[in-house]
Amino acid sequence: MIDIIHIDNDIIVCIKPAGLLSEGEGPESLLTVLADQCGGQVYPIHRLDRGASGLMVFARHSKAAAGLSRAVQEKQLKKEYFALISGVPAEKEGELTDYLFKDSRKGKVFAVSRPRKGVRDARLTYRTLWNDGENALVRVALDTGRTHQIRVQFSSRGMPLWGDGKYGSRVKGELALFSCDLGFPHPKTGKPMTFEAKPQGAPWDTIQGDFYDL
């Protein structure tokens, strides 16, 4: 069963488990599982990497989907993430900016030195919440929403996310990327909606203290 945080006639807010696709169809798609669990069609609004987990919002009909999509276009949908990384950023908080190139043949994204065809700019801000001298927990806010953005921007600086073998991690286990904060205007009422969640279990249980008190 998917953990439903909020549901009404227009939207579903849930916790996506690691391993399910956030788009597409079939038994490995969160859309299919939600449609079976809640009844009726479910419309995707944004995506979350298959290996990642955390808060997502879905529309329950096409009008709500249009309203939420408009919020995405107008940058009214706000997302923040927890990421557990190998390494400790030199600055406790800051901004990372890069040019990213998506190589569809290799199924990977690369940080490149200059803009060219197919390259898109990427920006995020981060704040280090905890570290043990070798690893760090960071809270990340995206200014752009590029494929694998958080994973690539930290990996390109020698700090891959835990469990992210695709981008250089030597730590085995689930990808340590969790969507912890989600905000958007309700597509029908316009009311600001905000949701928070924190991850449970491995590898997050290696961190001492409550995430929101760090």
Which of the residues are catalytic?
A: 49
pLDDT tens across 170-183, in order?
A: 999 999 999 999 99
Query: With contact defined as beta carbons under 8 Å apart, do 94 and 125 qualify?
Result: yes
Query: With contact defined as beta carbons under 8 Å apart, do 78 and 144 qualify?
Result: no
pLDDT tens across 127-148, in order?
A: 999 999 999 999 999 999 899 9
Q: What is the pTM of this model?
A: 0.93
Domains of the chain in sequence order? 3-78+182-195 (3.30.2350.10), 81-167 (3.30.2350.10)
Confidence bin at 212 (pLDDT 50/70/90): low
- Tell me, what's the pLDDT at 161? 98
- Tell me, what's the pLDDT at 207? 79
pLDDT tens across 155-202, in order?
A: 999 999 999 999 999 999 999 999 999 999 999 999 999 999 999 888
- Nearest to 184, CA basis, from 17, 46, 22, 41: 46
- Tell me, what's the pLDDT at 203? 87
Residue, of 208 and 157, whose pLDDT is higher: 157
